[in-house]
């Protein structure tokens, strides 16, 4: 009888467990259904026994910056695979004006973003019905993604109207404080100041890129551009961009440093070569003060936090030092367990070994310094010269784009997401 009572108790316990478990499971399923009614199949989850969710985002990605990267990060979070369309040079010229960076450089940049899985080159500026069908049928795209800022064609129509009508459109939040228009405007300030200050016998390039502190000049004229960044850095954003991993105990850690201002294809390629030299790539990003002291008062164009996010978004980078010292010390090499320090042949400063204070003197003396042959002859100065040499065209483009951005901010409402 005692045995029967024990079995009955066990059965009751099992029943209670089953009922409680059933309630928990039921609530979980109900919660899953209700919370994902409008989001499924998002959240970076795969539907059981079905293919991964593929999302598409397109763009010009001209003068690519951390705002573009954050948009791609948000888009990738809405599915399992992100396919990115890069608009052709011809389409950009027809719809916006001349691009600063040609297609092959923009493709290098987009391919290097760690949230991108595939790239479609020479994508159309507008999502036509024909191209949308191609995305759905050939690329197996589930949803088309774009930011909350409007994308209007020259004829005034919405570039994503067909995707919205088909119910295959999803929206993400635009990144605050930056745009290609803003960045070009920071450089156009140089040209604006030169026009004004030439009459005052102040025409040097450093004077023209005057660090953005004085936007009004002696004669009361206000500059059309600004070098003042409106970026609001948060610890959350840095965590979102970070890989969150540490090197293994036996990892070969490679270190490369620089300003990485106006992050471009030349930067990407040297970082790729550096990463190939080891297991973990640590990138030192110099402070704004260091960059100004070594490259002139007009630099950097992007501030330290902006430059750090651009580098962190690169798939070849494992970790960054935000505000790295100019000189690579023995203590720093020991602290980070650095195995190799590298520098590219194409850089703003290639005469560092001739200087009295060689920033790489210590790693050279330790036999752990190596020069890498840069595959692209592009520097930040290259980008600036492109703007300056064709400043009238970019000024016109910026005025047009600036008006649409002004309208966006005036009518802006809060959009959830990050």
Mean pLDDT per 10-residue run, the chain (418 residues)?
46 38 34 34 52 95 92 96 97 88 97 98 92 96 88 80 92 76 72 45 35 33 41 83 91 97 96 98 97 87 93 98 97 98 86 76 97 94 87 64 52 59
Sequence-ordered list of residues with C-beta below 8 angstroms from that of 29, at least 6 positions apart, any chain: none
Q: What sign does the dihedral 257-240-86-389 (CA atoms) show?
A: negative
**C-beta separation of 370 from 339 below 8 A:** no
CA-closest candidate to residue 223, choices 99, 101, 398, 407: 398
**C-beta separation of 83 from 54 below 8 A:** yes
What integer pLDDT is reported at residue 16 of this predicted model? 36
Phi, psi dihedral angles at 293 (to 5 degrees): -65, -30
CA-closest candidate to residue 193, choices 213, 210, 208, 212: 208
Structure tokens at 52: 């991964």
Sequence-ordered list of residues with C-beta below 8 angstroms from that of 290, at least 6 positions apart, any chain: 259, 326
What integer pLDDT is reported at residue 159 of this predicted model? 84
What integer pLDDT is reported at residue 23 of this predicted model? 34
Strand ranges in 108-147 using DSSP code E only, listed in sequence order: 118-123, 143-147
Structure tokens at 376: 């692209």
- Name residue, tokens 């960076």: 101
DSSP 43: S
Give the burial class of 108: count Cβ atoms within 10 A of its Cβ; 0-12 exposed, 13-18 middle, 19 or more buried.
buried
Question: Can you name the residues that pair with 147 across neighbouring β-strands?
Answer: 172
Sequence-ordered list of residues with C-beta below 8 angstroms from that of 150, at least 6 positions apart, any chain: 158, 404, 408
Structure tokens at 367: 């036999």
Q: Tell me how far apart the alpha carbons of residues 277 and 107 are, in angstroms, rounded to a whole number.
A: 23
**C-beta separation of 326 from 286 below 8 A:** yes
| CA distances for 361 relative to 81, 82, 328, angstroms | 45, 43, 8
Strand arrangement of the beta sheet that strand 369-372 belongs to: 319-324, 280-286, 253-258, 338-344, 369-372
Structure tokens at 142: 């589930």
Using left for φ > 0, alpha for ψ between -120 and 50, and beta otherwise, residue 153 falls in beta
Q: Tell me how far apart the alpha carbons of residues 302 and 258 are, in angstroms, rounded to a whole number.
A: 13
Q: Tell me how far apart the alpha carbons of residues 147 and 151 are, in angstroms, rounded to a whole number.
A: 9
**C-beta separation of 144 from 127 below 8 A:** yes
Chain centroid offset of residue 418 CA: 14
DSSP H/E element including 149: none
Q: What sign does the dihedral 401-402-404-405 (CA atoms) show?
A: positive
**What is the set of domains in the chain, with CATH numbers?**
54-172 (3.40.50.620), 180-231+381-410 (no CATH), 235-378 (3.40.50.620)
Using left for φ > 0, alpha for ψ between -120 and 50, and beta otherwise, residue 145 falls in beta
What integer pLDDT is reported at residue 339 of this predicted model? 98
What integer pLDDT is reported at residue 216 of this predicted model? 33
What integer pLDDT is reported at residue 287 of this predicted model? 97
Q: What sign does the dihedral 353-274-109-186 (CA atoms) show?
A: negative
Structure tokens at 223: 């500059």
What integer pLDDT is reported at residue 165 of this predicted model? 92
Question: Can you name the residues that pair with 81 across neighbouring β-strands?
Answer: 54
Phi, psi dihedral angles at 321 (to 5 degrees): -105, 110
What integer pLDDT is reported at residue 195 of this predicted model? 45
| CA distances for 7 relative to 4, 13, 15, 106, angstroms | 5, 10, 12, 71
Question: Can you name the residues that pair with 171 across neighbouring β-strands?
Answer: 146
């Amino acid at each position: 009888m005692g045995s029967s009572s024990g079995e009955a108790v066990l059965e009751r316990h099992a029943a209670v467990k089953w009922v409680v478990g059933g309630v928990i499971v039921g609530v979980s399923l109900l919660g899953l259904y209700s919370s994902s009614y409008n989001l499924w199949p998002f959240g970076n989850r795969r539907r059981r026994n079905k293919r991964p969710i593929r999302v598409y985002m397109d763009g010009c990605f001209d003068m690519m910056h951390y705002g573009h990267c954050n948009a791609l990060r948000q888009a990738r979070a809405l599915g399992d695979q992100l396919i990115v369309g890069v608009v052709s040079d011809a389409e950009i010229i027809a719809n916006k004006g001349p691009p600063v960076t040609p297609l092959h450089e923009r493709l290098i940049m987009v391919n290097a973003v760690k949230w991108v899985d595939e790239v479609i080159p020479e994508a159309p500026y507008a999502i036509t019905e024909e191209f949308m069908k191609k995305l759905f049928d050939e690329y197996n795209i589930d949803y088309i993604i774009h930011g909350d800022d409007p994308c209007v064609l020259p004829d005034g129509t919405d570039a994503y109207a067909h995707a919205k009508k088909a119910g295959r459109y999803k929206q993400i939040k635009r990144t605050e404080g930056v745009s290609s228009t803003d960045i070009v405007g920071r450089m156009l300030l140089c040209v604006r100041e030169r026009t004004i200050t030439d009459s005052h016998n102040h025409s040097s390039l450093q004077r023209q890129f005057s660090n953005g502190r004085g936007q009004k000049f002696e004669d009361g004229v206000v500059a059309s551009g600004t070098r003042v960044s409106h970026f609001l850095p948060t610890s959350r954003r840095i965590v979102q961009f970070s890989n969150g991993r540490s090197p293994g105990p036996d990892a070969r850690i490679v270190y490369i440093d620089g300003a990485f201002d106006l992050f471009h294809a030349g930067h990407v390629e040297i970082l790729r070569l550096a990463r190939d030299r080891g297991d973990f790539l640590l990138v030192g990003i110099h402070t704004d003060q260091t960059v100004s002291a070594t490259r002139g008062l007009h630099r950097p164009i992007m501030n330290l936090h902006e430059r750090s996010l651009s580098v962190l978004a690169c798939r070849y980078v494992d970790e960054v030092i935000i505000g790295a010292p100019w000189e690579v010390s023995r203590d720093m090499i020991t602290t980070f367990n650095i195995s190799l320090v590298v520098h590219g042949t194409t850089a703003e400063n290639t005469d560092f070994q001739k200087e009295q204070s060689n920033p790489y003197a210590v790693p050279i003396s330790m036999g752990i310094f190596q020069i890498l042959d840069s595959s692209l002859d592009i520097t930040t100065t290259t980008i600036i010269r492109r703007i300056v040499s064709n400043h009238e065209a970019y000024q016109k483009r910026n005025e047009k784009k600036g008006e649409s951005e002004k309208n966006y901010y005036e009518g802006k409402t809060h959009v959830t997401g990050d």
